[in-house]
Amino acid sequence: MLGLPSLDKSFLMSDNSFREAGIPFLKSFGKKRYWKNESKSSGSEPHYHHHRQRLREKFLRSGSSALADYELLELILFRTIPRRDVKPLAKRILETFENDFNKALSAPFSELIKIQGVGDAVAGELKIVEAAAHKLAQAKVMHKDVIASWDALMDYCKTAMAHRQTEQFRILFLDRKNTLIADEEQQKGTVDHVPVYPREVVKRALEINASALILVHNHPSGDPTPSQSDIDMTARIAEAANSIGIEVHDHVIIGKEHDFSFKAAELL
């Protein structure tokens, strides 16, 4: 009968020895040892797997209204971060943007990647979701009578512009039946100014055979009250358009909570 070889005592490492050697054999529960990050209750499966499953089921069962904003953001982050608890990151992103979900999605890529834990993949995913939301909102008004669907039009403009950090000027081009035939961003500006050239506006309207226009721009400050330069610029565009038979139906300024209509205020 063969005898078992004797073991060198140095081979029998304690928990402290494992730590010193950099081996993640760290935890003891009774007589059983567990590797680092291994859950006693669920074997080798990370604890957040069950959380992800429960959150997805909650969303599918009850919709987004049943979720907190950080939970909805978690669902987005699941796609780009498959092996980590993303709740802390979701909360960190929201806190960076004043706990405003829309503001977080609308933030520039360059601002998103400044957040700890947000890389190109996460920032890119958030911008994809933002673009998809804009497309869905735009589809509700494109090639439709915008005068008859004014509320949907304003919802789209707010989705696309209300949370931007710089001014953006858009023109909605309509045909003779007030059907929206084109929606184009003309200019981007600074936090309080965007340059607009009446000649370019009229030129583009002629190129696509538009009969009427709706001007839209945002105020990043959140206050949609028009400045004197807004009023003067609107008058110049209306004058140039009217000279060739194109009507300016309205100029709408989008704020955070409210919007301002030049037509309703009798400024147009």
CATH code, domain carrying 218:
3.40.140.10
| pLDDT tens-place string over residues 158-215 | 888 877 878 888 999 999 999 999 998 886 655 555 678 889 999 999 999 999 999 9
Statement to judge: residues 165 and 184 lie in one domain: yes
**30 in a structural domain:** no
Kindly state whether residue 248 falls inside one of the protein's structural domains: yes
| Three-state DSSP class for residue 130 | helix
The total of structural domains in the chain comes to 2
Give me the domain span that covers residue 160: 141-261
5-19, 36-50, 80-94, 139-153: least confident range: 5-19
Answer yes or no: is 226 within a domain. yes
pLDDT tier, 140 (very low <50, low <70, confident <90, very high otherwise): confident
Asked whether residue 38 is domain-assigned, the answer is no
Instruction: Establish if 8 belongs to a structural domain.
Output: no
Give the predicted TM-score (pTM) of the model.
0.66
| pLDDT computed for residue 79 by the predictor | 87
DSSP SS3 for 112? helix
Distance of CA 196 to the CA centre of its chain: 26
Cβ atoms < 10 Å from Cβ of 220: 20
> Binning pLDDT at 50, 70 and 90, where does residue 45 land?
low
Any domain includes 6 = no
Among residues 192, 190, 196, 187, the alpha carbon closest in space to that of 223 is found at 192
254 and 167 share a domain?
yes
Contact of 52 with 85, CB cutoff 8 Å: no
Q: Could you say which of 78, 110, 135 is where a domain stops?
A: 135
**pLDDT for the residue 148:** 85
pLDDT, the chain, mean: 81
Residues 168 and 246 in one domain: yes
Distances (CA, A) of 41 to 30, 49, 69, 157: 14, 13, 29, 50
Whether 45 and 51 have beta carbons less than 8 Å apart is answered as no
Question: b or e along 16-26 (b: 16 or more beta carbons within 10 Å of the residue's beta carbon)?
Answer: eeeeeeeeeee
85 and 192 assigned to the same domain: no
Residue 192: other Cβ atoms inside 10 A? 12
User: Is 4 domain-assigned?
Assistant: no
How many angstroms separate the CA atoms of 70 and 92, rounded?
9
